[in-house]
Chain A
Amino acid sequence: MSALSSRRRGAPRRPPERAELWLGALAATLLLLIAGMLAFVFKEAWPSFSHNGLAWFGSGGNTGQQLAAIYESPANPDEYVYHLRAWPLLYGTLLSTGLAVLIGLPFALLCSLFMVEFAPPGLKRIMTPVVRFLAAVPSVVYGLIGILVLAPWIDRHLVSASFKLDVNAIVPVSGGGLLLASIILMVMIVPIMIAIISDALRAVPRSWVEGSAALGVNRWRTMWKVSVRTARPAIAAAVVLATARALGEAIMLAMVSGSFIWAPNPLDGLNFFLEPIMPLAATIVGQQEGFSAVPLGQTLYAIAAVLLVSSAILSFAGWAVRQPLRKYAAR
């Protein structure tokens, strides 16, 4: 593999090289496969959307009962039930993802700065494995800790007995819910953001940092105005990736979000955060045993399609955000 072993050649210009063709063919195959997958998902999802129209995204009725009715559809394809108002699922996803990313981003940025620049050498050495570790812990382990340790704690200390009694008939409140889901989601996505952002911060050319220092600008401002500025495309990428992960997290959320299809009511004050949610991805896991019932399977594909479209929109947003920033880039 050493650079010396490869022979010198006369470098005749013969475009395109064989390597290029092979690699290109591979990439094109991958592209076809992914495009096929998208088409397949949307094809399967179509019946659910076409029966409900835009009302699919609206609210109305009890979503849990609607899913049950879809599962119990008659076997005759003409009598399939598709009626679904999925707003509580969308709302749950938006809330948990939004909270986790909004709180997680500044936290991750600060952690990255700490880890790259401000931590004393000893701590700096610890921080990298810490981030690695948090990113490596499987979501099911977070879910396990959430459901066995944190949910009972929240249930005991934060959920008031009167609130529980008030809503008992409508919705079970047991510790698992929006608050717990968002917190654990944040713990899960922050390491991803830190990894991306700190990498970018480290890659900021030393000459810029020195140039700023030579002007008598202190380290905080130097990091903030030069390094973080330079790392903005990476920050956008970090947000996009983290949001995508949060959107798609299924198992952990299925474990800690309260296992009940419900849209938390902001009018409930702080109790809002304690009410259960049921994000889209968790719904798929929760309902997967009924997958063989064709209409439910198609409904699950519809949910999957919504997730796919959201992540596609996200990637596009991330790309669009990065465009104006490129103007100043060296490359």
Chain B
Amino acid sequence: MPPPPIRKISLDAPPTVVHVPPVPLDGNGNGHAGPAGGVHTPGPPPSEAPVLERMRCDAVTIAYGPKVAVNRVDLPIAQGEVLAMIGPSGCGKTTLLRSLNRLTELTATASRGGRILLDGQDIDALEVTTLRKRVSMVFQQPNPFPMSVFDNVAYGLREGGSKRPRKKELMEPVERALTRAGLWHEVKENLDHPALRLSGGQQQRLCIARSLAAQPEVLLMDEPCSALDPISTAKIEELILELREQIAVVIVTHNLQQAQRVADKVAFMYLGELVEYAPGEQLFNAPQAQRTRDYVGGAFG
């Protein structure tokens, strides 16, 4: 066994300075309202809910074998606001996202350094199934199971615990989850139809409903709209804005307009490093780092 690769690499290449603006945070959970930005830009409407820090990345480094994908990222994730992670392909956004509920562990070669905290508790200390129930994930490609619509949404509830609930008991949570995902009216007649017969946008919302059914505290979304048409995308963005009131939402996106539309905070990653983390309008209008300026500038022409 070679030594864990991360150590070697971090010795070889000391991390470059990362511009992380001070983040106003209150450890007790008595958060305060969103950023006080003076500039007016098209952004998401301000959230009503108080902002609460739920998760925190502490010098997180992730490597696949010898290849470092994420390098010493510090990042807070709060409820009541949407965090968007942007950056070019292969910059480690998705890897970082997947590490938040330890899905990176499904890749045999992946290793991680640093700490990730959920409500102040190290997620490595949590049972991984518990963690994933609390921190759920929606994938880039809609991946409904080859079962009925109902069974898909009920899946997490049925298989998550040790006792299998009856179908009757599941009816209510399933309806709630589908309603929250904005899909109830479209599928309520066809709950026993195969989920794979739904359209792509419906499938993705079904996947969101499936995640919501287990009542997660954090919802991770990995480019949830990249495979969808504009109308489905709009529906899901609307949904994200509604969801942020109750749960922390992290979304990885390639689409800067989408980040602008839904995100309260934006994290720009480049080559595995967190370059800049700031409120949305600040990052897009007055980026601090040169690399952010270049990347965002490309989008704004």
Contact = CB atoms under 8 A, between A and B. Distances in A.
A–B touch (CB < 8 A): the answer is yes
19 contacts: A205-B143, A207-B143, A208-B146, A211-B144, A214-B136, A214-B139, A215-B156, A215-B159, A215-B211, A216-B128, A217-B160, A225-B155, A225-B158, A229-B145, A229-B147, A327-B194, A328-B148, A329-B146, A330-B196
A91 to B, nearest CB: 40
A217 to B, nearest CB: 4
A226 interface: yes
A286 B128 CA distance: 60
A198 to B, nearest CB: 19
B205 interface: no
A215 B196 contact: no
A132 interface: no
Nearest to B213: A215
B133 A330 contact: no
Interface string A197-235: 000000001011111111111100110011001100000
Contact of A217 (B146, B156, B194, B195): B156
A216 B143 contact: no
A310 B129 CA distance: 47
B53 to A, nearest CB: 22
Contacts of A215: 132-133, 136, 155-156, 159-160, 210-211, 214
B106 A211 contact: no
B145 A214 contact: no
A229 to B, nearest CB: 7
Contact of B101 (A214, A222, A327): A214
B139 A210 contact: yes
B159 A214 contact: no
Interface residues of A, number: 23
A213 B133 CA distance: 9
Nearest to B155: A215
A210 B143 contact: yes
A216 B160 contact: yes
A58 to B, nearest CB: 46
Contacts of B147: 229, 328
Given A327-B194, A328-B146, A328-B194, A211 B159 contact: no
Contacts of A222: 159
B141 interface: yes
Nearest to A206: B106
Q: Which 6 residue pairs spanning A and B have beta carbons closest together?
A: A216-B133, A216-B132, A207-B143, A215-B156, A214-B137, A328-B146
Contact of B145 (A213, A218, A226): A226
Interface residues of B, number: 32
B194 A214 contact: no
A229 B155 CA distance: 13
A216 B146 contact: no
Interface in B171-220: 194-196, 207, 210-211, 214
Given A207-B141, A225-B159, A214 B211 contact: yes
Contacts of A209: 106
Contact of B156 (A210, A216, A229, A329): A216
B49 interface: no
B190 to A, nearest CB: 13
Interface-central residue, B103, B143, B147, by most chain A CB under 10 Å: B143
Nearest to A219: B129
Interface of B: 101, 103, 106, 128-134, 136-137, 139, 141, 143-148, 155-156, 158-160, 194-196, 207, 210-211, 214
Given A207-B141, A208-B145, A328-B194, A214 B103 contact: yes
A212 B129 contact: no
A330 B103 contact: no
Nearest to B132: A216
Interface string A225-265: 11001100000000000000000000000000000000000
A217 B103 contact: no
B159 A221 contact: yes
B134 to A, nearest CB: 8
Contact of A210 (B103, B133, B134, B214): B103
B250 to A, nearest CB: 13
Contacts of B146: 208, 229-230, 328-330
A258 B210 CA distance: 58
A217 B143 contact: no
Contacts of B148: 328
B78 to A, nearest CB: 21
B130 A216 contact: yes
Residue of A208, A211, A215, A217 with most chain B CB atoms under a 10 A cut-off: A215
B106 A213 contact: yes
Interface in A298-331: 327-330
A211 B196 CA distance: 14
A222 B133 CA distance: 14
Interface in A25-60: none
Contacts of A207: 139, 141, 143
A230 B144 CA distance: 12
Given A214-B132, A226-B145, 17 more contacts: A207-B141, A208-B143, A208-B145, A210-B106, A211-B144, A212-B155, A212-B159, A214-B103, A215-B136, A216-B132, A216-B133, A217-B129, A225-B158, A229-B145, A327-B194, A329-B196, A330-B196
A329 B129 CA distance: 27
Nearest to B194: A328
A117 to B, nearest CB: 12
